[in-house]
Amino acid sequence: MNRQTFRKSLVSIVAVLLVGSSLYVQAQPAERSITASVWEARQAGVAESVLNQLLILAADHRLEDDGVVRLVNFVQTVQAENLPVGPFMGKIEEGLAKQIPLDTIAAVLAQKLDDYRFVRKVLRTKTGHQEISHQDLSRMVDSLDGGIAREELARFLLEAPGQDPAMLARASEILALLKQVRFNQTLTQEILFTGLENNSLSQSWDYLARVVATAKRRQIPDDEIARAAQEALQAKRPFKDFMATLGFTPRDLQHGPAVGR
């Protein structure tokens, strides 16, 4: 099957799915496996936009039929476990764009899925079955990509005061970023635990690692940085007050690491 024929076949499959027709049973043998897999994924709740994107990627990169089925089945698994599909689609698109072998892409996807399962299990141990958004869950998982070991993240989450998923997600990202800029790990935990305990680790603290990186370049000691941060978090003062204590202005936030960026 050449590229043009393959793409036309996949477009036909999408058309069948969009009208919800049972005509897929009339597909040619080479197409039936793809069509059946896509149909099952759609019935399992995978969004039409995701399936369309996956099929177009498959056509553009001339994947074999069994490769397409493999990816569709994987996305269906993610959907069935109520995990965010977007991060996995991003990995698929990135891998195909870089012409990485499908087996390698599959291995990366499997590792990512295992990371999600691990973090969700830890959170359920801490908070029971409290609802957590896909965004917050993804932020915690991404901290593993930022250099935090699984055991380190699990210990941090289980020992951290408070159970607000959004703040725990922010804290886990800051934990990874402060490790990247080689800030004292004990002081890092003290800062974050202070913020979590006082429910004061607001969105503005996303820039903490950026301020810390600049402060270290200015040779401000870690304990001085930590003391200023803890005092601000303890008193629930604005992040700009913490910056001012160190002699910083908003202009100092233009460069360096920050959560979600």
CB atoms within 10 A of CB 210: 21
Q: What is the pLDDT of residues 45-99, one digit of tens each?
A: 999 999 999 999 999 999 999 999 999 999 999 999 999 999 999 999 999 999 9
Q: Where are the domains of the chain?
A: 1-100, 129-261
What percent of the chain stands above pLDDT 90?
76
DSSP labels, 151-166 = HHHHHHHHHSS---HH
CB 181 within 8 A of CB 209: yes
CB 259 within 8 A of CB 173: yes
Residue 226 makes CB contacts below 8 A (sequence gap 6+) with: 184, 187, 190, 191
Q: Kindly tell me the sign of the dihedral angle through the C-alpha atoms of 4, 51, 107, 144.
A: positive
Alpha-carbon gap, residue 164 to 206, rounded angstroms: 16
261, pLDDT greater than 70: no
**CA neighbor of 243 nearest in space, from 233, 260, 229, 231:** 229
Q: What is the pLDDT of residues 47-60, one digit of tens each?
A: 999 999 999 999 99
Q: 6 or 147: whose pLDDT is higher?
A: 147
18's enclosing H/E stretch is helix 3-18
Q: Specify the pLDDT at position 18.
A: 39
Q: Specify the pLDDT at position 154.
A: 96
For residue 22, give the DSSP letter: S
Q: What is the pLDDT of residues 127-141, one digit of tens each?
A: 887 888 999 999 999
pTM: 0.81
Looking up tokens 């994987």 gives 74
Looking up tokens 């597909």 gives 27
11, pLDDT greater than 50: no
